[in-house]
Structure 1
Amino acid sequence: MSKTQLYSSGLELANFVVTHDILHDAWTAIWSLYSEISQNEGPSSFVRFKVYELPNYTIIAFFTWPSSSKDSVQGGGGGNLVSSSTFKGSFPFFDFLCPKTKDPSFSINEPAFQLFKSIFGVLPKFEIDNSKPLIITGNSLGGSVATLFTLSLLEKFNFSKTKGPLCITFGSPLIGDENLQEAISKYAAWNSCFLHVVSDQDLVPRVLINGYQPFGTFLFCSKLGCSCFEDHHTILELLTTTNLGTLENQDPNKVFESYGTFVKDLNHKVICKDTTDDESLIDWTTTPLRAGIITQLVTIGLVQSQQQQNVDINIIITKTEKQAKMMAISNQHAFDPTRGLNDIKVHMVYLEQYKKLSKEYKDGYYDRYKNGVDRSDIDLVKHKKFLTCYWEEMVDQAEKRPQTVGASLRTRSLFGGTNYRRMIEPLDIADYYKAGKQDYINQGRSKHYIILEQLLKETEKPSSGPNELKKQNVASSLTEDSCFWAHVEEARISCKLLSSRESNDREKETNKLIEFEKYVYGLMKNYAVSSEIFLPESSFMTWWREYREIKGTFYRSHLTGLMNNEENYDKYAKGRLVIP
């Protein structure tokens, strides 16, 4: 079998971003805001923003004066980092970014954070479900504010249904530490929301290096053209290597204006054209990956200036090539909803066996676990924990990946996720009510269960009623509504309130029980509830006895008509009960 050929995708990405009007429109918005401010206010250290409504998308632009941004970044304290743990209580809008590690905090550049915080209260509230895309852009420290604003929005986007925001910065310094980079880069959809344009003449993006890590895609520009890089190690290496001493003397206003020239000229150039004929760098034996990297470095002017910098370009090429190979391998092992499904079958088999044996206890799967009468429950908890961790991670990953890469779970995974939800969620419900809590569905239900249920509803065809196969298998099937036992527990609470006369609103509790009746009857009619609910000591049968005592022997309803005849329990379990 031939070895997989590696190549660099930065060239294609560079061509894509510059041949669309988005980059041009983003810069035009910044320039328009700059022109408006320069006429009315003049230089200041504040950040200004404005919303521009275009036919195809909405742009919000952030602007800071180039000279002020440069002084702030270079000055004392300009590189200070502030930990997310220090503003968690007072400014919790980034809490969702915290990586799930022993150290769940990350750090952000303090000057940028203070600028963002100063205007956060007056920033517009965008309708996340709007089909019109949102472009967020900014220059220098204004770009840092744009980045933070984009980060604050990420949690609200369901990337499987809604177009995420695109943040484009021009000459922005790095914004955070390694923990922040890991939190963003963990999700492809989040990382792809950021495009950072960096001029070879701009010092500001290159100042904050120590303790900082880049994320997103970086578009390096020079008079020769531009090229994109995604690997954060490579980006940091290029920012460090291209930090020429002569950049110290650059006029920040001239550098700011140069971005407009880059944006204008890019559409008129062949991006990343191979302009080098240096045989020491490229010859017929050079691999496609290495040749592509050399072409990219030539395009951003690094090879041309290597003599001036006293830098061994071959070392940089080799480092970049190594990181590109590692990234390619990482992409090959990227999130796959079907990976691991065979492994978790072992854990599901244990639970299925536990459920089967539970019938011997006359209370069933749910109540056996809730009552904790067997030592095997200890092993059950281990299997339950493994399965929950697996599916929480799978749903978390699937929800945040781009739709084209697999934002919704595939058919096989969705089938496994549905079985998991119907098998495990009743156990979580048992733990919840055993702890004396109430209202599981609204107060205690995990987000990943909700998402798995929504995905099933989106793909499931409407049912016209139970078929014969469904009736025959009802004794071994799982209850379709994984929240069934939560409804049972709430019904028992209502019975207790009515019996003890503790309720201040007896009519409300009575209506709840009537609705619960209709709910159970509907499940039975569709053979959508497991027959184990009729086991003598189950919580459902306990509710039934409590309810019958409250309502009396003369009360009649669709459900009581079925429940009053115990022969119907066996008929239902065999799929022979005719329910009108």
Structure 2
Amino acid sequence: MVGEKVGDITGLSEELILKSCKLAIKAHEKFPGKLYIYEKNRGSTDVVFAFAGSWLVDHWYSRKPFGETKVDASKFPSLRSLGSDEIALVNEAFSTRFEQLLIKSSFASEVEKAVSDRKQVVFTGHSSGGPMAILAAIWFLEKYVRPNIYQMPPYSVTFGSPLVGNRIFSHALRRENWARYFINFVMRHDIVPRIMLAPISSTEQGLKLMHDFTSPKSQSFQHVPIGNSAAAPAFFLSVMRNASSVASHAACNPMGWTNLLLETVSCFIEISPYRPFGTYIFCIGNGKLVVLDNPDAVLPLLFYCLQLSPGEENAEFLHGIFKEHLVYESELKESLNMQNVVYIKNLIDIPLSSDAGTNYAAATVNSALNDLGLSTRARLCLRAAGELEKQKLENQKRVDSNQDTIWEGLRRVQEYQTNCEIRKIGYYDAFRNQRDANDFNANVKRLELAGIWDEIMEMIKKYELPDGFEGRKEWIELGTIFRRLVEPLDIANYYRHLKNEDTGPYMVKARPKRYRYTQRWREQAEMRSIGSSSESTFWAEVEELRTKPYSEVKDKVLRLEGQAFAWIRDGILGKDVLLDESTFTKWWRALPVQHKSGSCIASYLGN
């Protein structure tokens, strides 16, 4: 889209963006004396926290080859896949620096003060200060925004920041609708945002070069070190070679393309796990800004817009590339003043040729792509990212069309449950016994619903739906009702056929994804602890406990009784579980008298 302003796209004023950049550069210059600085002008509606960067190798990589580790789930519980329950990966060195910031500084208390003063909080960082700003913003979102303690989301504004987390990291932020709060400015030729695409073995010497080049205290300040004239090209080429592998791998996998050579190479070359997220604003260098917010498009762009011709691979040009990491403030002043902004939203229609488009908007987009130096292959990658996004939206539309069918199926199962109660038997036990035509019909409906949901779960597992799908309120509600109503039938069918004797307990190896996933949806949306919304597996617990001696499972019995009491009281678990012929009632009444006399559900069942 042409003609939009940066402030309208990001939600931040140009003045605040410039202030953030100025403070980010200033904070970087303060290292190692200060971990961060912040500005809190009296009467201002905002407060900006700027984090210091560092070129120390152990502040970038803590281990070979890429230094990634699982995020701290206690601080960042949202950074995981709800489907696979896989925790996101984060750069361990960046994460450790942020942990130290929380422990060894007054940062947390100063943020608390900003919240109490009702300020718009902005976290910013230049270079490796950027990851600190990103982690601080996520920490703030988890601590204040998600629990509805504070309604004003923070912003993370970075300048030349390296990548921080993996695909799940990016996916989770888009699922929570938080990615829009992360604004990343990148100079076209700045090597730093690409560094994390290469392993430490390829970049360690390069980090030293960057330190010498960017540190005012260094004799080589803003000059490619003569003694390392060969190291600079080697560093650049290594980063770009790895960026090429990552971009190619990422481009092939989502679209289902096959590349035997790539698959073979992948067996020998480790691919960086790091991926972009948020809004990226590329500073072309002529006052023009190009904006993208599709991470699948940003990744190849990081590679393709930094391609050099053979004549450019020399010390003088590399000096210019290194220098681009230092000119964000001056570049932004010019660009924000000109407001020559191209926001590329419709990726599938971007021109493949470098020739001008047929209308003003197309010609302007094409001019921006030319300024980025994008080849036809690069443009194809951007189109592929657009096609992938389009396909996900079409998949979502198709999945949404199943809602009426699902609701109708659930209505039929509910009718079955009601009819069973009229016959004075719980629908779990009726289905387990299978003595009536209604039981057979209920099984047919169960299988129909399972087929619909299994298809949806498989799409989620393969990331074939938009990242925000699992956070949609209507599907969380539908999934919860489906799970509570239909999973007891799956459990009844499992134990009716004695599958537990071959496979083991239902909860260990047999529980389908359609119930595990939808349970996590609800727990995430309502900020419940993992596994706390387990009411639909009540009967599986009963089936396992009733086959074991009371002395072995006493604690589990007490826990289940406590849960059942709350679920029945709140209407989550039907009172048909308390009928005289219920499997649960029969088992409970066979428990030791001493236990029953002190049980919390004795008032429901009698002794």
CA distance in 2, matches of 1:103, 1:537: 34
> Which of 288, 306, 312 is equivalent to 1:225?
288
The separation in 2 between residues aligned to 1:122 and 1:227, in whole angstroms, is 33
- 1:267 maps to amino acid: L
2:128 to 141, 145, 160: 141
Amino acid corresponding to residue 227 of structure 1 in structure 2:
V
Q: Out of 179, 183, 206, which is 1:195 matched to?
A: 183
Change (3 A) 1:135 1:82: same
Q: Which residue of 1 aligns with 2:66?
A: 82
Work out the CA distance in 2 between the residues paired with 1:24 and 1:394.
Answer: 42
Which of 539, 552, 566 is residue 584 of structure 2 equivalent to? 539
Distance change (3 Å), C-alpha of 1:271 and 1:56 = same
Give the structure 2 partner of residue 166 of structure 1. 155
Q: CA deviation at 1:21?
A: 3.8
Q: CA contact under 8 A between 1:272 and 1:295: conserved in structure 2?
A: no
Structure with the greater alpha carbon radius of gyration? 1
Residue from 250, 256, 264 that aligns with 2:320: 250
Residue 170 of structure 1, CA deviation: 0.6
Contact 1:358/1:368 (8 A) holds in 2: yes
Retained in 2: the 8 A contact 1:140–1:204?
yes
Structure 2 distance, partners of 1:426, 1:335, is: 29
Give how far 1:228 is off.
Answer: 0.5
Q: Which residue of 1 aligns with 2:356?
A: 282
Whole-angstrom distance in 2 between the partners of 1:449 and 1:102: 12
Distance change >3 Å, CA 121–CA 542, structure 1 → 2: same
Distance 1:409 1:263, change over 3 A: same
Structure 1 unaligned residues grouped into runs of 5+: 1-7, 42-46, 438-444, 457-480, 553-558, 565-580
**Structure 2 CA distance for aligned equivalents of residues 373 and 337 of structure 1:** 35
Which letter maps to 2:128? Answer: L
Distance apart, 1:409 and its partner CA: 2.0
Q: 1:527 and 1:407 mapped to 2: Cα distance?
A: 22
CA 366–21 in structure 1, closer or farther in 2 if over 3 Å, else same:
farther
- The equivalent residue for 1:270 is 339
Once residues 455 and 107 of structure 1 are traced to their aligned partners in structure 2, the CA distance between those partners, rounded to angstroms, is 21
Greater CA drift, 195-204 or 339-348? 339-348
Deviation at 1:136, TM superposition (A): 2.8
Match of 2:9 among 16, 23, 44: 16
Matched, 1:216 2:278: yes
Superposed displacement of residue 171, structure 1: 0.9
Deviations 1:322-345 (CA, angstroms, capped at 9, x unpaired) = 644654554565579944313434
SS in structure 2 of the partner of residue 136 of structure 1: strand
Between the aligned residues of both structures, percent identity stands at: 18
The residue identity in structure 1 corresponding to 2:406 is I
Match of 1:30, as an amino acid?
Answer: A
Cα displacement (A) at 1:226: 1.3
- The separation in 2 between residues aligned to 1:546 and 1:323, in whole angstroms, is 60
Equivalenced residues, count: 468
Offset at 1:22?
A: 3.7
SS in structure 1 at match of 2:340: coil
2: CA distance, partners of 1:348 / 1:61: 52
Per-residue CA deviation, residues 133-156 of structure 1 (Å, 9 max, x unaligned), is 543321112223434555667766
Answering whether residue 93 of structure 2 is matched by residue 31 of structure 1, we say: no
Work out whether residues 171 and 204 of structure 1, in 8 Å CA contact, stay in contact via their aligned partners in 2. Answer: yes
Q: What is the TM-score normalised by the length of structure 2?
A: 0.54
1:575 maps to none
Shift of the 530–150 alpha-carbon distance from structure 1 to 2, 3 Å rule, reads same
Task: Output the aligned Cα RMSD.
Answer: 6.4
Whether the 8 Å CA contact 1:14–1:227 is kept in 2: the answer is no
Which among 354, 361, 365 is matched to residue 293 of structure 1? Answer: 365
Residue by residue over 1:432-474, the C-alpha shift from the partner in whole angstroms, topping out at 9 and shown as x without a partner, is: 9x9699xxxxxxx979559759989xxxxxxxxxxxxxxxxxx
1:578 corresponds in structure 2 to: none
For residue 166 of structure 1, report the CA deviation from its aligned partner: 2.9
Cα distance in 1 for residues equivalent to 2:176 and 2:365: 22
Q: Which moved more, 1:340-349 or 1:126-135?
A: 126-135
Q: Per-residue deviation at 1:391?
A: 9.0
- Which segment drifts farther, 130-139 or 219-228? 130-139
Scaled by the length of structure 1, what TM-score is found? 0.56
